[in-house]
Amino acid sequence: MRRWQHEGPARSNLPSLAALGERERSRRGDPPDAPAQPPLGAVERDQEGRIVYVDLQPSSLGDDSLNALRSRLLSVQPTRRVLDRLTPINRGRLLVEIEDAMALDLFRAWLLSAMVRVEAFRSLLTPLGPRIRLLGAQFIVPKVTEYEPRIAAQAPHTDVDAKGEVISVALHLQGDAMGTLIDAMAHVDSSGAVVNGSGFRCAMTPIFAYDTGAVHAGPGVAHVPPPYPQYFTSRVFVLLCADTLDPHRIAQHRHDNGLRGAIDLTIVVPSQTGA
């Protein structure tokens, strides 16, 4: 099984993002600006026609359930005191698990609402079945220091070997574009090389869902101005799988992502929202 790489090592051939804008943006924990790549479509499919990416922002404008979720997550963002005690992994990323019961209940309410409104989102989640298990939810927090005053872009990768096993919802708490790079047509061969792709494009949206078996890469920032250290706490990822997934695989996924699985949350999909 391939180890998950939400914020993995950089490859020099990945485009970097432009430098952060005003210093005030970086102080408030905003994430990187989006890379200069063509935007992804509202829905992206792989070579077999499987949906692997859905932009959820068009259906979320004015969405009370999304606004409530964002508000709660903003209130439980990790503090500098907490982050200062953590050890970075994967080139300066900190992983902070979200265990706030209210935030996760609000996520469940938003997800069920979004499934009703967005057919492509229902289709993306269909392989997980009528009972969807929360693998975990995290703030993924880049730490920038004077010794490495940038955020490294990820190497293109997949998180799991099989599509349809784990779906992620990615959310920016300040409403900025996430900037994640995805090549829906590509796959990773046995040597780890990305092959048969059509080119990476950018998620110019603050909220989307994607199949973690699709080839993707997190964005970077070429230079982050002082003061240091700085932490970027606005990027949230929620990982979902089928409730019937083998418990050993669930445990492995959680281990690979530093998730304890302390909160046992299963989302029951009403029959009327089925594909």
What is the pLDDT of the chain when averaged over all its residues? Answer: 86
CA atoms 66, 234, 95, 155: torsion sign:
positive
* 243-256 tens-digit pLDDT: 999 999 999 999 98
CATH architecture assigned to 23-273: Sandwich (2.60)
Place of tokens 């047509």: 185
Closest CA to 230 of 43, 84, 21, 67: 84
- Structure tokens of 122? 């229902």
* 83-117 tens-digit pLDDT: 999 998 766 789 999 999 999 999 999 999 999 99
Report the predicted TM-score, pTM, of the whole model to 2 decimal places. Answer: 0.86
Question: For residues 15 and 30, what is the distance between their CA atoms, to the nearest angstrom?
Answer: 20
Contacting residues for 67 by C-beta, under 8 A, at least 6 apart: none
Question: For residues 205 and 105, what is the distance between their CA atoms, to the nearest angstrom?
Answer: 23
Domain boundaries, the chain: 23-273
Q: Are 244 and 190 spatial neighbours (Cβ–Cβ below 8 Å)?
A: no
Question: 101-117 and 64-75 are packed helices; what angle lies between their axes, rounded to 10 degrees?
Answer: 160
Question: For residues 131 and 268, what is the distance between their CA atoms, to the nearest angstrom?
Answer: 5
Question: For residues 39 and 209, what is the distance between their CA atoms, to the nearest angstrom?
Answer: 15
- How wide is the angle at C-alpha 169 spanned by C-alphas 211 and 74, nearest 5°? 160
Closest CA to 66 of 118, 141, 31, 26: 118
* 210-227 tens-digit pLDDT: 999 999 998 989 999 999
Contacting residues for 95 by C-beta, under 8 A, at least 6 apart: 6, 89, 138, 139, 140, 141, 257, 258
* Chunked mean pLDDT (size 10), the chain, 275 residues: 40 31 41 66 96 87 88 98 89 89 97 95 97 97 94 89 95 96 93 89 97 93 94 97 96 90 90 57
Closest CA to 240 of 123, 131, 109: 131
